[in-house]
Chains A and B, each alone.
Chain A
Amino acid sequence: MSAAATEVSPRASDPTITPELVADHGLSTEEYERILEALGREPTLTELGVFSAMWSEHCGYKNSKRLLSLLPTEAPWVIEGPGENAGVIDVGDGWAVAFKIESHNHPSAVEPYQGAATGVGGILRDIFTMGARPIATLDSLRFGDLDDGRVRYLFGGVVKGIGDYGNCVGIPNLGGEVYFDRGYEGNPIVNAMAIGLMRRDELITGAAKGVGNTLMTVGARTGRDGIHGATFASEELSEENEAKRPRVQVGDPFTEKLLLEASLELIGSGAITGIQDMGAAGLTSSASEMAGRAGNGVEIDVALVPVREARMTPYEILLSESQERMLVIAETGREDEVGRILQKWELEAAVIGQVTDDGMFRVLENGTVVADIPSLPLTQGCPTYERPGLESKEVKELRERDLSHISSGQGDLTGQLLELMGSPNLASKRWLFQQYDTTVRAASVIRPGGDAGVVRIPGTRRGIAATTDCNGRYCFLHPRRGAAIAVAEAARNLVCVGAVPTAVTNNLNFGNPLKPAIYHQLREAVLGIAEACLLFETPVTGGNVSLYNETDGAAIYPTPVIGMLGMVEDVERVCRHAFARTGDAIVLLGTNKGEMGASEYAYVLHDLVAGDPPGIDLLAERELQRAVLAMMQEDLLGSAHDCAEGGLACTLVEAALGDGAHSFGIEVALTDQMAPVPLLFGESQGRVVVSCLPERLARVAELAGSHDVPCAQIGQVSEPGGSLRIRAGTSGVDVPVRDLADAFFGVIPARMDSPAEATPAPDTW
């Protein structure tokens, strides 16, 4: 790499670059050597800060990049794969969909309200910077045990943060998932996914095209908040992190809404050639990445950047993560037009530099060069590592634990079912969803609470279905299989609403990758995703990696969250999870194998996270999904529900309870030669419970048979508000649906709304 031609001298107040200062910036000795090589000289403090942010795990993906290259990313319908602000797929009729998932785990652990709110803000900006109007969000959340006061504070704050932000911007929430498990104590997971819709020809990318074009900042001013947020997100948490609270950004959804409208108007005007959110690592990453994508250079003067506070240094301006800001590339001569559009939306725009042809990321302060770095090594040269991976012995022992005492147990099965339905993991998440606007934009066909959410594409009969899935316990005990199951379950959920699985965005949430046991989890999980996504033909179009999710040395469960989109051909024919009519036949597709490993039953009733997670046969799974879609094509089904946590019994309860307003009793008899506990509560994959009119049963069985999918009527839907009766061999459960409803709908409100346990009120803006 050639040395920079321009003279760069340290600013008067800059400290000397010492090994300690380098280490404080999260850079290793080897990485510092590379910086010296790239620059051909010592960096200034400003340059060190720039490298530190760009080569952080968060921006540089240094411990995951090599693994990510194993994921399938291509398909004829993929327009933009990984590397852009968001993935984009073609959905036909001239429409394209941008979608992505992103984590805000670290900020949410420190300041749940702002952490979650800015997570939503960031992912929305990633969508509308592609030219797409956001039409839905989903959230994948993990917390510790809800009995813990701090967990309730985090949970309450995150839910309010997501709600306040998304509600104000006016984007409907379509669902997602929430799990509570001690494995996330101290390290909650907050992954936000957003989906946007655009005409195909409205697509714009984050590239600094056209030498001589003008760089402009638009939106909010730059302040001192969130400096080094990207580096913070690449560390383990400890007591000391409380002192890092100022690294958490503060969000303003009202400004976001204005920025959304202004950005879409800018893109529509043709006055700009590129646009990017100033997200993690702020101006540094947006400017250098835009330059890198176009193979150009950029020159900016930080003195031209509108700031909120006086006397900000170049270091601070470059690394600030103040929210609701964008960097745009304006066509030369059209800067005023950009200014006028921003002014209409009561936002600021400022010219801060231009696109150059020398490939350098050059920063000036009042005309004096303070940083001059070749863009390519900065954006692409982050060293990537393949680490040694080795499964932890403890995990192996846990996986091999004999659970036969659980399987052979019996006791009061009805009581056990009630206890399970009242576990926060299985209980209704209505308490959250009712705090999110789920109906704005008037296109929500299936709202949160079902297997997947569905929004209509305006003016058409078609729809987009979306889900997020991941069982962290499965991934903890068997990362590869757990990750493959996450993909399979996501696809199964989409199929259950009548959608064809189409593409994936993923969020890899893991601990510290420098530990062999964690790197092992990461590698295995990526392999599991790759294998399943290949088979389901659902390419990964992007996503996010969040590592170092550890508190005082204890890592979260490996949690590779899969966000999957599916296409619905006719929104008037979507299928729902709830039983629809008295007298319908209840049919099980798939096989009960009685697998109890890593089950919710073992966790709730035996306080155990152990055993071998359920097996997954991806080919059989694909056939099952094809069979269900074929049944829906012929309008045979009254309902379809994925069989997941809590096993067949809990799946039947969910289908019987529905939304609580129209609950049905059921009469089911299971004849498998198996002890009742594994039969009722085992979590075997590849199962779907469907219901249909009795006269359609033969056709359902025929279609199942043509896909080699086991199919058996196990019972029928009885009267509304009746009892749920499941016979399992000689024993079984028998309980009024009202009692199940009390447990299912009551538990989360009871924990969260109890006046004595009120959540600390978040700071208001």
Chain B
Amino acid sequence: MRVVVVTFPGSNCDQDCHRAVELSGGEPSYLWHREHGLSDADAVILPGGFAYGDYLRAGAIARFSPAMEDVVAFARQGGPVLAICNGFQIACEADLLPGALMRNRTIRFHSFDQRLRVETTDTMWTSSYEPGQILSMPVAHAEGNYEADPDTLDRLEADGRVLFRYVDAKGDASDEGNPNGSARNIAGIMNEEGNVMGLMPHPDRAMDAVVGSVDGCGVFQSLARHLSSAGVG
């Protein structure tokens, strides 16, 4: 599994994603935002951080970078794209995913371990999990409040494209369990074709019990399983 991690100026989880791929038995490499070159990639990660400083709006500038042209083309051809945190924001700005990520409802940056529930498991991103499995992953964002128009939300739900939801201690998608005000407690979604996933929490920071959780491993394992079944090493 050759996975390319795109580094934008201001990306700060690129190394974490690189290591997560390594820990999952893949071969990671970096692609600098001004360069092209996804021809050898089996999958792409848009990592977290503050691409271009996020001064205008998170992800608004990053979508115009040369590397993103390649990422969009790669995604349109069905290539798997994992968009985490700032990467999720960039993917929405680049129309790879529907909706947008707004300011957290508290208007503050949030950083803590968050409970998630796996909503669908027959996807390339979640096949290693059990349906309804409760996970814990760190969140760290100021703009993680997922919003889309009601039709889009209904379609996401109907298609089974809501992959992860924020939940409370009981495992319910309650308001109490919603850290940032996201519509319908949505934490992660995929596009219609199922090859692009956006996820606000950080699976890349949940790969090691010593730092708190191994619940992120499933995302990378699912991807590896998908690629190997598709005949990709």
Chain A residues close to B by CB (< 8 Å): 163-164, 167-170, 252-255, 257-258, 344-346, 433-445, 447, 456, 458, 571-572, 661, 753, 765
Contacts and interface: CB of A to CB of B under 8 A. Distances in A.
A755 to B, nearest CB: 12
A170 B49 contact: yes
Given A164-B109, A168-B50, A169-B12, A439 B211 contact: yes
B205 A442 contact: yes
A2 B110 CA distance: 60
Counting from the closest, the 7 A-B pairs by CB-CB distance are A170-B12, A254-B53, A439-B138, A442-B205, A437-B140, A442-B16, A168-B50
Interface centre among A447, A456, A753 (most CB of B within 10 A): A447
Interface in B156-195: 169
Given A167-B109, A257-B50, A442 B211 contact: yes
A255 B10 CA distance: 8
B50 A443 contact: no
B133 interface: no
Contacts of B19: 442, 458
A440 B10 contact: no
B207 A167 contact: no
B96 interface: no
A438 B111 contact: yes
Nearest to A345: B9
A753 B108 CA distance: 11
Contact of A254 (B52, B109, B204, B207): B52
Contacts of B53: 168, 252-255
Nearest to A163: B109
A68 B210 CA distance: 39
Given A170-B49, A441-B16, A442-B205, A435 B111 contact: yes
A765 B32 CA distance: 26
Which secondary structure characterizes the binding site on chain B? mixed
Contacts of A442: 16, 19-20, 202, 204-205, 207-208, 211
B44 interface: no
19 contacts: A167-B50, A167-B140, A170-B49, A254-B50, A344-B32, A346-B9, A433-B111, A435-B110, A438-B138, A438-B140, A439-B138, A439-B202, A441-B16, A442-B19, A442-B208, A442-B211, A572-B210, A661-B169, A765-B55
A440 B9 contact: no
A540 to B, nearest CB: 30
B141 to A, nearest CB: 9
A442 B209 CA distance: 11
Given A254-B52, A435-B111, 11 more contacts: A253-B53, A254-B9, A254-B50, A346-B9, A439-B111, A440-B13, A440-B205, A441-B16, A442-B207, A444-B212, A572-B210
Contacts of B64: none
Nearest to A261: B9
Interface residues on B, range: 20 to 34
B120 interface: no
Contacts of B32: 344
B24 interface: no
A466 B140 CA distance: 22
A257 B204 CA distance: 20
B120 to A, nearest CB: 26
A148 B110 CA distance: 26
A132 to B, nearest CB: 15
Nearest to A456: B210
Interface centre among A345, A440, A441 (most CB of B within 10 A): A440
A569 to B, nearest CB: 13
B12 A257 contact: yes
A745 to B, nearest CB: 13
B26 to A, nearest CB: 16
Contacts of A253: 50, 53
Interface of B: 9-10, 12-13, 15-16, 19-20, 32, 48-50, 52-55, 106, 108-112, 138, 140, 142, 169, 202, 204-205, 207-208, 210-212
Contacts of A436: 109, 111
A765 B53 CA distance: 11
A257 B210 contact: no
A434 B49 CA distance: 17
Given A170-B49, A257-B50, A439-B138, A434 B111 contact: yes
B171 to A, nearest CB: 14
Nearest to A431: B108
B85 to A, nearest CB: 10
Contact of B205 (A254, A439, A456, A571): A439
B50 A439 contact: no
Interface centre among B52, B202, B210 (most CB of A within 10 A): B210
Contacts of B12: 168-170, 257, 440
A445 B55 CA distance: 31
Nearest to A574: B210
A498 to B, nearest CB: 13
Contact of B211 (A164, A252, A344, A445): A445
Contacts of A445: 210-211
A168 B111 CA distance: 13
Contacts of A163: 109
Nearest to B9: A258
A439 B10 contact: no
Contacts of B109: 163-164, 167, 435-437
Interface centre among B9, B13, B106 (most CB of A within 10 A): B9
Contact of A257 (B10, B110, B138): B10
B9 A170 contact: no
A444 B50 contact: no
A439 B112 CA distance: 8
Contacts of B106: 753
Contacts of B49: 170
A258 B53 CA distance: 10
Contacts of B50: 167-168, 170, 253-254, 257
A345 B210 CA distance: 34
A536 to B, nearest CB: 27
A253 B12 CA distance: 12
Contacts of B208: 442
A304 B108 CA distance: 42
Contacts of B20: 442
A345 B33 CA distance: 11
A52 to B, nearest CB: 35
B10 A456 contact: no
B110 A434 contact: yes
A571 B211 CA distance: 9
A330 to B, nearest CB: 23
Contact of A443 (B10, B140, B169, B211): B211
Nearest to B208: A442
A168 B141 CA distance: 10
A257 B20 CA distance: 22
B15 A441 contact: yes
Interface centre among A252, A437, A441 (most CB of B within 10 A): A437
Contacts of B212: 439, 444, 447
A459 B46 CA distance: 24
Nearest to A255: B53
Contact of A168 (B10, B15, B169, B210): B10
A461 B19 CA distance: 16
A257 to B, nearest CB: 6
A456 B13 contact: no
